Each structure stands twice: as structure tokens, then as C-alpha cells.
Chains A and B, each alone.
Chain A
Amino acid sequence: MSAEAGQQHPLGIYLKIWVLLFVLSTLSYLVDYFNFQGLLRWTLIIIFMLLKAGFIIAIFMHVMWERMALILTILGPPVVLLFLIGFMVVEGGYTFGARVEHFGADPNAQPLPVTHIGGEHEGVSH
């Protein structure tokens, strides 16, 4: 059995991970529902996101049962994307600074409230 007969594993592990993904999704939705803000919000969102992604890759996509040669081929190359993120953070910050300096920006500006239209709620805002 195992790798040579394809990826065959007991059903139970899939069902457990399935339930776990539901719980994690609910938790990340609740972060928004209870309107957590600031550092707590970003930390929770990132943790739940990484846990979900990890379980999908490791269990559902069977990566944890693959051989090291394939695992590194899959997970190795995307590491360079971290550099792209780093560079673009610097670039984005610079562009923002240039825009504020040359065009000005209202530091207290808020997005306009959203008005939902359609159905029987034509024009009702909240």
C-alpha cells in the first residue's frame, strides 16, 4: 500500500480535516462579524488563513505523504514570492508618500457609507 498504490488513506482523516476547515472558516468570519480591529484582527486573520491553507495542502492535496523531492519542487519555488512582496511593500509605500507630498491627502478621510439598492430596499442605507 502507501505511495505505490496511489494516495490511499482512511476516510476518517478527510472527515476530521473537513470539519476543522469549517471551524476555521467560521472563526475567520467571526473576526469580521465581531468587528475586531487593529493588531488582533490581522493576527487572527493570518493565523486562520495559514492553518486552512496548510491543512488543504498537507492533507487534501496529500503533500505530507509525498516524497521529499516532490514536496520541495512544490513548496520551494513560491518562496521567491516573499521577495516580490517585500519589494512591492517598499514600492507601494514610496508611491503613497509621493502622492501625499504632491497631491495632498486628507488624513481623516473616511470611505463614504454604502447604500444598498435593489429588491424592496431601494435606497435604504444603514
Chain B
Amino acid sequence: MSVSVRIPTILRTYTGGQAEVPAEGATLAEVIASLEQNHPGIAARVLDDAGKLRRFVNVYVNDDDVRFEGGLDAATPDGAGVSIIPAVAGG
């Protein structure tokens, strides 16, 4: 499964400044592993020491917040758009 991942400004140092990068994987966990392969270091920014999504990171697959869709087990269909967004905005 090929997906497109939107990278927030604070992680673009890992992607050479690119705002959007391709990745592979049928689940979010696989997509993050794929990102890590191509952009070493990025996974540790998104996941905590226990390998879970950090509490101040929001991830969306298309328009769905993955916290409603099984977290790291959320399916990432072919062609999906994945967005990683800092959770501290708003309100």
C-alpha cells in the first residue's frame, strides 16, 4: 500500500524540508516504520519509548483521527493521505 504522509513543520528537518513524502504500509505502524527507513530518526519523534503514539501527536488517515480507528493498527488504504499534526493547537 502506498500512502502520502503530510509532515508538520517541526519534523521537516528529517525529510529535507519536504512537506509531503511517500511511504508504504497497510497499517499506521507499518507506515511509520517505512518513514523511519527513509528518514531515520523521525519515528522516535512520533512514538514514545514504549512505542505508542506520543500524547501530543495527532495522526489522521484521510479525515479520520486514528485514535478512533485503532491507533497504530489503523488501516492505511492504498492512496490514503496520512497527516501528522502537533496536538497542542486550538481552544
Chain B binds chain A: no
A residues engaging B (CB < 8 A)?
A: none
B residues engaging A (CB < 8 A)?
A: none
